[in-house]
Amino acid sequence: MHTTINRNNGDLFMEDIALNDIADQFGTPCYVYSKRAIELNYDAYVAAMGDYPHLVCYAVKSNSNIAVLQTLAALGAGFDIVSIGELERVLMAGGDPNKVVFSGLAKTADEMSRALEVGIHCFNIESESELVLLNATAASLSVNAPVSIRVNPDVDAKTHPYISTGLKEDKFGIDINQALGVYERAAQMDNINLIGVDCHIGSQLTEVKPFLDAMARLLILVDQLSERDIPLAHIDIGGGLGVRYQDEQTLSVGDYMAELLPLLAQRGETLILEPGRSITANAGVLLTHVQYLKSNDHKNFAIVNAAMNDMLRPSLYQAWMDIQPISTHPDREERIYDVVGPVCESGDFLGKDRILSISEGDCLCLFSAGSYGFVMSSNYNSRPRVAEIMVAGEQVHLIRQRETLRDLVRGEQLLPVN
């Protein structure tokens, strides 16, 4: 996974830009993304696939800013979406609808109609009821819907339980043991065109084995289907490749494909991937200022201006994300801090027990924040959502304005006064 962040004479730079300059110009908290890092991470996928027929569908949910999507669309990326909101973003960013796969377990008839109207590549279907609705929706538009069934292969992704999705107890997909029957019934539906199979077993995977186990199970199913005259054109193994937040031994895209592609040798189905985190996580940071320092007998607290509403991962998953000052000050006293935000919840922290040499007013950088950062942010505690910035070489672009107090109450209405 590529990053374009370096420390130079004590100051952090992203590409050619000092992060200090961004903090000065745009204020904090703000998310900053590197265009180059996103491009390099996407290119690594394409390179790792070599000549094998493939489609890399970036998981929009991981970072859906339209400038990020535009960057990937310009490289020819496909997109994995989970809502019509994400589809409209992809279209706005110049993405090709024909390279869109539509995941998610509760698609509505309206969402299906819109996706059929723009001609997406495939619907990843998660239940028989959804299949029935899609068939009816396609019939009402006199079209056929391209379909893949998302199967749950029952493999343990060995990741955090909240981001593991391929076990029997998870809500996702159709049990692989029921899949054959569902395909056979789908094959009888007039407006369903079966073109693929998919799975997504979890996120932040650092081992290749769960992916290989899942693929092996999918291949058995694909062969059984082909014996029953239901040939499939693609196999979609989902996303999930992990990135380094701390010192994890991660799997490179090259190593992943070097193990996965041999399973597909002599077959020819197109391989679809749905990576999110491995494209954007290490391409982004969150900048935040230290507002106050305070200590008691037990602890030192660095109270910063970013909170769990801006970056939820540490609070929700106990995720460890690196925190460093954007300019080092070796003269300052080194202490162990809990880095906490202004939100009124004890669970509001960005990091615990971090060794830092900092003073009030310093700017900190939270690393690997390009995925599942801004997209999971909220207005909790009536905090406006922060600005997003994209660095491209020597250029800096504001790609989302900081929300204003007026934005906070947009759409709200006082009751009439009698």
Contacts with ligand LLP, residue ranges (CB under 6 A): 59, 62, 80, 103, 163, 200, 203-204, 238-241, 274-278, 313, 317, 371-372
How far from 302 is each of 30, 222, 305, CA to CA, in Å?
18, 54, 10
Euclidean distance between CA atoms 143 and 114, whole angstroms: 12
- Beta-sheet pairing, 30-34 with 323-325: unpaired
Distance from the Cα of residue 190 to its chain's centroid: 35
Q: Shortest gap between Cβ of 148 and ligand LLP (angstroms)?
A: 11
**Nearer of residues 75 and 163 to ligand LLP, judged by Cβ:** 163
Of 105, 102, 53, give the one whose Cα is nearest residue 233.
Answer: 53
**Nearer of residues 62 and 135 to ligand LLP, judged by Cβ:** 62
CA 204-198-138 angle, to 5 degrees, is 130
**Nearer of residues 191 and 377 to ligand LLP, judged by Cβ:** 377
Residue with tokens 């982004």: 284
CB atoms within 10 A of CB 267: 13
Q: Shortest gap between Cβ of 240 and ligand LLP (angstroms)?
A: 4
List phi, psi (to 5°) of 295: -135, 150
Of 283, 256, 307, give the one whose Cα is nearest residue 52.
Answer: 256
H/E segment holding residue 74: helix 66-74
Euclidean distance between CA atoms 136 and 189, whole angstroms: 9
Q: Shortest gap between Cβ of 200 and ligand LLP (angstroms)?
A: 4
Euclidean distance between CA atoms 120 and 114, whole angstroms: 9
CB contact at 8 A, 101 and 57: yes
From the list 30, 199, 344, 365, the catalytic residue is 344
Question: Which amino acid, one-letter code, is at 218?
Answer: L
Q: Shortest gap between Cβ of 412 and ligand LLP (angstroms)?
A: 28
- Name the region of 346 (left: φ>0; alpha: ψ -120 to 50; beta: rest): alpha
**Nearer of residues 276 and 325 to ligand LLP, judged by Cβ:** 276
List phi, psi (to 5°) of 290: -80, 120
Q: Shortest gap between Cβ of 10 and ligand LLP (angstroms)?
A: 30
- Residue 124 pairs with which residues in a beta bridge? 148
**Nearer of residues 200 and 354 to ligand LLP, judged by Cβ:** 200
Q: Shortest gap between Cβ of 61 and ligand LLP (angstroms)?
A: 6
344 is catalytic: yes
List the structure tokens of 80.
Answer: 């994995």
**Nearer of residues 241 and 287 to ligand LLP, judged by Cβ:** 241
Which residue blocks in 152-252 are alpha helix, DSSP H?
176-187, 209-227
**Nearer of residues 62 and 137 to ligand LLP, judged by Cβ:** 62
CA 305-310-313 angle, to 5 degrees, is 115
Q: Shortest gap between Cβ of 316 and ligand LLP (angstroms)?
A: 7
Report the catalytic residues. Answer: 344
